[in-house]
Structure 1
Amino acid sequence: MIYELNAISTGKIETLTYGKKQMQSALNKTVFTDTCWLTTTGFCDDEQAYKGHGGPDKALCLFSKSNYQMWQDDITELPDYAMFGENLTAKHMDEKTTYFGNQYQLGSAIIEVSEIREPCWKIQTKYQIPDLVKRMSSSGRTGFYFRVLKEGYVAPDDNLHLIQQAPDDTLLSVFELNHLMYNDRNNISKLTYALQNPYLTTARIDKLQRLLTKAQQL
């Protein structure tokens, strides 16, 4: 299966000012126009401003263009790509049918779904929407991250080719994990199931374990 990409984008850290607030961020990404090398920590031309963004478990961020419509009543002119600083703007990838452990070929690289995207204050500040983080999180439409299993060259017109779906006995969608983290945090059976997933990051497993321990004490 092929998933078409609207844009592949990278960005450098810069000082951005929105209202009265200044921040260091690579949020305003632009489409690259030449072949770019994808490493285990992301595109060679991409930067991340601080801990919690990027790294081997969050090498690439994807957000679906179909999710942009959620914000059409809040933003006068929706961007064409990289609305929330994502590297990959997909024409349509549904969090409900995207599973941790799914593997895709992108150019000559191979990537794997590894982590949910946790919305942060920076995108909320950029768009001046006070409840953006809460709404985006609870919707489950956050986008997600990939780890890089095989480094390689990526061209601007490359698309995602699904080469392996996660095994049936491990299936956990991005939407399901988002719902568990933000809307159903005391669900012991679902927390227990998620903790058995072999594709989640160590950081996510730690967060799920803390939630499970707390839920068991209620």
Structure 2
Amino acid sequence: MNVGGGRSVSRQLISLNVGKPITVEYKGKELETGIYKQSVQGNVFLGNELFDGDGQADLVHHGGPDKAVCVYPYEHYPYWETQLGKPLDYAAFGENLTVTGMLETDVCIGDIFQVGEAVLQVSQPRYPCFKLSQKHGASDLPAQVLKTGFSGFYFRVLQTGYISGTSAIHKHESHPAQVKVVEILRLLASARTDRDQDTLQRMMELDVLASVVKEKFQRWLDEAPLNG
């Protein structure tokens, strides 16, 4: 997995993006999706699970307390513009916050940041789904995201409040476990024969990791013996 993505720069919010689900066509069928977000100006209130004016269509795989805010590093945009052969607007990956200085190789699960009035904690990587393919017309885009490690990540909300596109980002706390976002992504993308029991068990002890990810890791641990 390539986990480069350019030199990390100063931590900054580039764009705040929200949008309600819309219906589009995908492979000859109607598809409801919340990936088509738009950059917005002014203050927007962030509640415990989402921004005012935002929404998700698939509440099984998107949204909820551990996926309240989707974040994507702007440093990856030039790479994807080259791969996709087109310029990309903010929120190209359906993210709420387009940022700089917060790469998946630097940010750790459990790190706490303040953005505007809100206090947020990193909960898990963003795992790519087929709706990226629908939006950008590249059928292998989710696989490309996994291969590069350019996934983005999610915040849970520790303190609600207003955020604007010009809000500063301040780091409040680094989690002592120092588990990078990309480490969890690698595990989620790993083949069954590559899963290490000791590593999975260590991640199960990470109390700040999103519950849905821990449930998946626990299922893997409960399966037939893995490499250890």
TM-score after normalising by structure 2: 0.88
Aligned twin of 1:34: 42
* Runs of 5+ consecutive residues of structure 1 not aligned to the other structure: none
1:171 aligns with 2:170: no
Corresponding residue number in structure 2 for 1:46: 54
* One-letter amino acid of the structure 1 residue matched with residue 180 of structure 2: S
**SS at 2:87 equivalent:** coil
Match of 1:22 in 2: 30
Equivalent pair of 2:66/2:123 in contact (CA under 8 Å) = yes
Does residue 93 (structure 1) correspond to residue 102 (structure 2)? The answer is yes
**In structure 1, C-alpha distance between the alignment counterparts of 2:11 and 2:37, rounded to whole Å:** 21
Say whether the 8 Å CA contact 1:104–1:163 is kept in structure 2: yes
Q: Structure 1 209/19 Cα, relative in aligned 2: closer, same or farther at 3 Å?
A: closer
RMSD of the alignment, in Å? 1.9
Secondary structure of the residue aligned to 1:63 is: strand
Q: CA deviation at 1:188?
A: 1.7
Provide the C-alpha distance between the structure 1 equivalents of 2:87 and 2:29, rounded to a whole number of angstroms: 22
Say if 2:121 is the partner of 1:135: no
Residue 18 of structure 1 and its aligned partner are, at CA, apart by 5.2
CA distance in 1, matches of 2:201, 2:224: 11
**How far, CA to CA, are the matches of 2:115 and 2:89 in structure 1?**
21
- 8 Å Cα contact 2:112-2:174 kept in structure 1: yes
Letter in 2 for 1:46: D
Aligned to 2:5: none
Say whether residues 1:105 and 2:118 are aligned partners: no
- Tell me if the contact between 1:38 and 1:151 (Cα under 8 Å) persists in the aligned partners: yes
Mapping of 1:197-208 within 5 angstroms? 197-208=206-217
Question: Residue 135 of structure 2 corresponds to which residue in structure 1?
Answer: 126
Q: CA deviation at 1:76?
A: 2.3
1:156 Cα deviation from its structure 2 partner = 2.2
- The aligned amino acid for 2:66 is D
The match for 1:149 is: 158
Deviation at 1:116, TM superposition (A): 1.4
Q: Do the aligned residues in 1 keep the contact of 2:17 with 2:91 (CA within 8 Å)?
A: yes
**Residues 217/166 of structure 1: CA separation in 2 closer, same or farther (3 Å cut):** closer
Counterpart contact for 1:106–1:161, Cα < 8 Å: yes
Query: Which stretches in structure 2 are left out of the alignment for 5+ residues?
Result: 1-8
TM-aligned CA deviation for residue 2 of structure 1: 6.3
Aligned residues: 216
